[in-house]
Structure 1
Amino acid sequence: MSDTVTSLLLRYWQMTDRHRADLAPYSDAYGDTDDTDEDYADAQAEAAAETHDFLTAAMEELAEHFPLPAGLPVTVPGANGARFSLITGQLDDHARKAFTRGQCHALARALAEVTGWPMAVLITPDCTYDTDQCSADDDAYAGLCACRFHHVVVVRPDGALVDAYGAHQPGDVPDAEGYRHIPLNETGWEFLAGSPAWRRPAVTVARTFTAALLAELDTTR
């Protein structure tokens, strides 16, 4: 684990040294810059974008090596601006709501990691919000407009669809009765994870709930 931290630090320092060298030509002898210089603004924006991407990836890498402990109070974003305060590993009704009302994709991802079961997304028959936002050529994933993506699950080997409330037969997922599902591959996951219509996937938090959910499935099959 210490090797991971050391590697991240070295890469970060190398990146910031490069950014400093790239921006140096735009500074005077006192280190002041002309904020109206468009070339400087472009170089600064490029450096900021790279730093953002690096830090995002670094946090994900650290999360792989330093999993959250059980019993930790956390807050995750939900649908329509909701915020859910959870206790990691405590699979109560509040947690189930969080993982079906805004964080279903995070739980599906975490379950897929630990079980190897494929993810799937349930599709609504029509757009669930303003259809004007869905043009005829809007095929964000699998030829479908993003407004039809409703709920993410994993598919158990027996065909059951699993979410925070357990295993369901296709077509019988609560609040999505009759909806068909399609496979959600890595391309689809990357779309959902980065889409402004979906919340930041709190996968690190979701990982703390997989053991409790899978234990329930074992006792109810």
Structure 2
Amino acid sequence: MTRNLTPVATVHAAIAAYRAMDARHRVALNTYTDEDGDIPENAMPAYNEARFTYALEADEHLHAVMSELTDAFGLPTGQPVTVLGAWYRKFEVTQPPHPQSLTAPTTNGLAARPSCRAAHREKNS
């Protein structure tokens, strides 16, 4: 996301980026299914590995979006902020500060947390 977007445009860009990522994940996961839409037993390990990889990417994306929204709406970092949810329920959320050394830019301008993916790769090497 671009840093000079309005808060509403930042939300719209976050939603569009999430939808694109989700669609890409669904298309990729569909390659593991048979003609009935089921996952054959022999494809299950690869399917689960792909799901795990996509979950890590979604986690990284969520952290990047939270950071972008925090910046766009001027929310304090490290302090709880009460937000209104569905049915007027209130939730306290805290956006921790993310030092630059822990984040890396990605091609779409969002910050990513490479540590989760790197740890997974090392574990499975």
Distance 1:72 1:11, change over 3 A: closer
- Determine if the alignment matches structure 1 residue 57 to structure 2 residue 84: no
Matches within 5 A, 1:78-157: none
Aligned to 2:33: 27
Distance 1:62 1:71, change over 3 A: closer
Distance 1:4 1:21, change over 3 A: same
Distance 1:68 1:23, change over 3 A: same
Q: Secondary structure at the match of 1:12?
A: helix
Structure 2 CA distance, aligned partners of 1:40 and 1:29? 16
CA RMSD in angstroms, aligned pairs only:
3.7
Aligned to 1:47: 54
The structure having more radius of gyration, on CA atoms, is: 1
> Gaps (5+ residues) in structure 1?
74-105, 111-184, 196-221
Distance 1:71 1:47, change over 3 A: closer
Which aligned runs of 4 or more in structure 1 are off by greater than 6 angstroms? none
Aligned residues: 85
CA offset digits 1:49-72 (Å, max 9, x no partner): 111100110011101112348996
CA contact (8 A) 1:23 1:44 kept: yes
Q: Which amino acid aligns with 1:65?
A: A
Q: Which amino acid aligns with 2:61?
A: F
Distance 1:25 1:71, change over 3 A: closer
- Report % sequence identity: 30
Please give the TM-score of this superposition, normalised by the length of structure 1.
Answer: 0.31
Structure 2 CA distance, aligned partners of 1:63 and 1:71? 12
Q: Aligned-pair distance for 1:33?
A: 2.4
Structure 2 CA distance, aligned partners of 1:71 and 1:54? 21
CA offset digits 1:139-191 (Å, max 9, x no partner): xxxxxxxxxxxxxxxxxxxxxxxxxxxxxxxxxxxxxxxxxxxxxx843xx29
Please give the TM-score of this superposition, normalised by the length of structure 2.
Answer: 0.52
Structure 2 CA distance, aligned partners of 1:16 and 1:47? 9
